[in-house]
């Protein structure tokens, strides 16, 4: 099972979501069965490391982000089983780019699995540490249900 986390520039939300979910996968011992990556709907930061504030937030939660930003590629719709967008705008962009209906059905929002209810993961780019920590919290709170759904669907 391959999961792609997606935001706009791939330097704040999606690399943090990738790291958070990867840790849940690791703690469940499913690294050999579930792989994760992240990308952006725009290639503004292609090749760059995650925002320093994203990396600092991850470090505060004992995670390391080594990911380099990249843009979503057409092949991602075939390579990945699920494309998890951080907000409605990115989800709509992914659905527009999807080559067929089956690929469009792969697009979901991260907070679809949030036990507090669906919504968006807000962009912390213009904020401070508390905003990045809020993104971490939303991703961490949503990850167990996402993992449980994958385990159920895949029989893991």
Q: Is residue 85 part of a domain?
A: yes
Domain residue limits at 73: 2-151
- CATH code for position 30: 3.40.50.2300
Helices (H), the chain: 13-27, 52-60, 76-79, 88-97, 101-104, 129-154
In this structure, the chain runs to a length of: 156
Q: Is residue 156 part of a domain?
A: no
In sequence order, which residues have a C-beta less than 8 Å from that of residue 145 and are 6 or more positions away?
A: 113, 114, 115
In sequence order, which residues have a C-beta less than 8 Å from that of residue 152 and are 6 or more positions away?
A: none
Active-site position among 51, 76, 93, 123: 123
Q: Is residue 90 part of a domain?
A: yes
Classify 155 in phi/psi space as left (phi over 0), alpha (psi -120 to 50) or beta. Answer: left
pLDDT in tens, 78-125: 999 999 999 999 999 999 999 999 999 999 999 999 999 999 999 999
Active site residue 96: no
Active-site position among 12, 13, 53, 139: 13
Active-site position among 7, 12, 57, 139: 7
Instruction: Judge whether 10 and 133 are in contact, CB under 8 Å.
Output: no
Active site residue 13: yes
Using DSSP's 3-state secondary structure scheme, residue 7 falls into: strand
Classify 47 in phi/psi space as left (phi over 0), alpha (psi -120 to 50) or beta. Answer: left
Angle between helices 52-60 and 129-154 (to 10 degrees): 70
Q: pTM for the complete prediction?
A: 0.97
Domain count, the chain: 1
pLDDT at 28: 97
Active site residue 105: no
pLDDT in tens, 2-50: 999 999 999 999 999 999 999 999 999 999 999 999 999 998 999 999 9
Q: Is residue 89 part of a domain?
A: yes
Q: Is residue 134 part of a domain?
A: yes
């Amino acid at each position: 099972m391959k999961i792609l986390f997606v935001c706009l520039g791939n330097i704040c939300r999606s690399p943090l979501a990738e790291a958070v979910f990867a840790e849940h996968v690791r703690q469940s011992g499913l690294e050999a069965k579930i792989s994760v990556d992240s990308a952006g709907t725009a290639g503004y930061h292609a090749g760059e490391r995650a925002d320093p504030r994203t990396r600092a937030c991850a470090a505060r939660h004992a995670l390391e982000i080594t990911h380099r930003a990249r843009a979503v590629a057409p092949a991602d719709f075939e390579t990945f089983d699920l494309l998890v967008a951080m907000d409605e705008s990115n989800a709509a962009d992914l659905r527009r780019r999807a080559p067929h209906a089956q690929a469009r059905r792969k697009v979901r929002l991260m907070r679809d699995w949030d036990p507090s209810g669906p919504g968006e993961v807000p962009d912390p780019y213009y904020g401070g540490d508390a905003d990045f920590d809020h993104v971490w919290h939303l991703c961490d709170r949503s990850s167990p249900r996402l993992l449980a759904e994958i385990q159920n669907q895949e029989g893991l």
